[in-house]
Structure 1
């Protein structure tokens, strides 16, 4: 029988920890081990974790004497894992029934698959649920690594609690990068995809919580773009030796990222954040100078000519006009 090791990093999430771990222990199919790594939490994490470890022999618990951060904690979990497959599951998220069985069955049947991911339910602070789809269709399927990278473009299309990785490959490729605190997972998916296929599970695999604690640590627009740029560069420089079209891929991914930067600049302009908009426009050109020839760039340039007040006056009419032309290419306005 195949086995899965689940690493649960926890910092200040003692109130979520039980639901997370119990969602793993309730999974049927593969043999399971769980390691809770308490990153020196000041809350009741230790109490909850010790009780979980006492009540089920599949659960182990470690506590750091000082906070080491998520990436160091995740890499500690990678070093611990020895099962066929592994999953990093933040203590504030939890698995849905059948998630591990679906991933393991696909990976057992297809040894070329480096990792699987699936849909997720996003749970906000008000308890409202929304669904995050894979964007790959309605059936479970397998993508080549290059197809996955192309589909991702300059974005992270994967929510980490849905990801099950082949442990042997994860150990061979190494852990997460400390200098990419906001994009280390995106770089990891690319790195894995360069060495194998990617399984896409056509089901919701996990619940991802969007709450004040994790939202407060989100990067600014500029930080996010810069981190993704760095992740792309690191991957294409160090992890894409197996790809024959790395140069073309770099140019295309940078163009996609530059277009997104212009979209962010346009949004900032709408919000009256003129200095931020100018900085984001400059960043877009730095990423890919050819962005200045795109329709999105010129649309923002026209808005700047109108000025914020002028744009606010004409925006409703332009939005109405664009709404009745469904084939008109859309960009951020």
Structure 2
């Protein structure tokens, strides 16, 4: 990673912002306004209504009438999210492309900052930044951008694959249009993490940059897709593992990245360790822990969460059973833990994730 001083942008690039919408008509005006208020760039806003049952289409039509930069595409039937994304992406004409959910918002000046970074480093194919979460307005105070970060594409791919996580939430990401044209948008085979795949694919054809400041706002209102259609830690890990197997496999774009085989093995080990850490955290939770649905919540993978996590870990890396984590899960499942141990273990688990979040929020990886 290299750090760079901020530089002012030159010219007025055209940025295409695709806003998929399904029954989010009450949020849509705020999302569109957050785009139209962006200075320093020309704008193309494409709202794709996925056959909403609320007033989303009427709201979008009114916005398109009021603002020449906005146009509406209406799906004749409900196509679900990936097809709706790709419908809008197929229409973009801008130099750079953003996908903004109708319930999220861009931070003031985000597109100009990203365009300036692209302009200063034409080798970049993907730029992202910090994202802040909110439930209802007022929005959190944005963190002022103080620097840029850049990574060589293979370096960013390796970091992403070895940590196995999706480093980008979504609304803060902007890609060159050529990335969309090359890979055809979002891959419908991976509906849970198609955005993660697109970021990885982008990093195989160019470098990656980050604006180290707030670029977008992600609305967490309890009905987000990650909380409904794809809820569950085990489901999430399984879906990401399948995605990385594809990306790093013979047919995936990541197969051309140096060290792809080593990254594949490293990702499996990371998945195995993380699954067992989740299992330990569940075992330390108050209540009974048997092979049935876990007291702390079920995962849609079928068996109890602890048993499912342990099975997933063995699938990813059979040797994990002989590690300290593997032995701890086996011992804890059989005999439990001393009363003093569980709270300390859970605090350690929470501290680990807090530190990881702080690192990603500050540095992007």
TM-score (norm 1): 0.89
Larger deviation, residues 177-186 vs 52-61 = 177-186
Q: Per the alignment, in what secondary structure is the counterpart of residue 252 of structure 1?
A: helix
RMSD over aligned CA atoms reads: 2.8
Query: Runs of 5+ in structure 1 lacking a partner?
Result: none
Asked if residue 76 in structure 1 is aligned to residue 82 in structure 2, the reply is no
Identify the match of residue 188 of structure 1 among 198, 216, 219.
198
* Residue of structure 2 in register with 1:221 after alignment: 233
Alignment partners' CA distance in 2, 1:48 and 1:320? 46
* Residue of structure 2 in register with 1:306 after alignment: 335
* Residue of structure 2 in register with 1:111 after alignment: 122
* Residue of structure 1 in register with 2:215 after alignment: 205
Q: CA deviation at 1:182?
A: 1.1
Alignment partners' CA distance in 2, 1:130 and 1:141? 22
Checking the alignment, whether the CA contact within 8 Å between 1:6 and 1:35 is kept in structure 2 is yes
Aligned residues: 321
Asked if residue 262 in structure 1 is aligned to residue 276 in structure 2, the reply is yes
Aligned counterparts, 1:9-88, within 5 A: 9-88=20-99
Q: Per the alignment, in what secondary structure is the counterpart of residue 203 of structure 1?
A: strand
Alignment partners' CA distance in 1, 2:141 and 2:159? 22
* Residue of structure 1 in register with 2:157 after alignment: 149
Asked if residue 3 in structure 1 is aligned to residue 29 in structure 2, the reply is no
Larger deviation, residues 237-246 vs 25-34 = 237-246
Q: Per the alignment, in what secondary structure is the counterpart of residue 204 of structure 1?
A: strand
Asked if residue 159 in structure 1 is aligned to residue 174 in structure 2, the reply is no
Checking the alignment, whether the CA contact within 8 Å between 1:34 and 1:60 is kept in structure 2 is yes
Query: Runs of 5+ in structure 2 lacking a partner?
Result: 1-11, 291-303, 357-365
Q: CA deviation at 1:321?
A: 11
Alignment partners' CA distance in 2, 1:97 and 1:129? 12
Alignment partners' CA distance in 1, 2:265 and 2:312? 16
Checking the alignment, whether the CA contact within 8 Å between 1:114 and 1:198 is kept in structure 2 is yes
Q: CA deviation at 1:216?
A: 2.3
Larger deviation, residues 149-158 vs 123-132 = 123-132
- CA distance 1:138–1:316, change in 2 (3 Å): farther
TM-score (norm 2): 0.81
Q: CA deviation at 1:150?
A: 2.8
- CA distance 1:9–1:322, change in 2 (3 Å): closer
Alignment partners' CA distance in 1, 2:318 and 2:146? 37
- Structure (1/2) with the larger helix percentage: 1
Asked if residue 245 in structure 1 is aligned to residue 271 in structure 2, the reply is no
Alignment partners' CA distance in 2, 1:257 and 1:321? 21
Q: CA deviation at 1:269?
A: 2.4
Alignment partners' CA distance in 2, 1:204 and 1:190? 22
Deviations 1:274-295 (A, max 9, x none): 4320121011110111322332
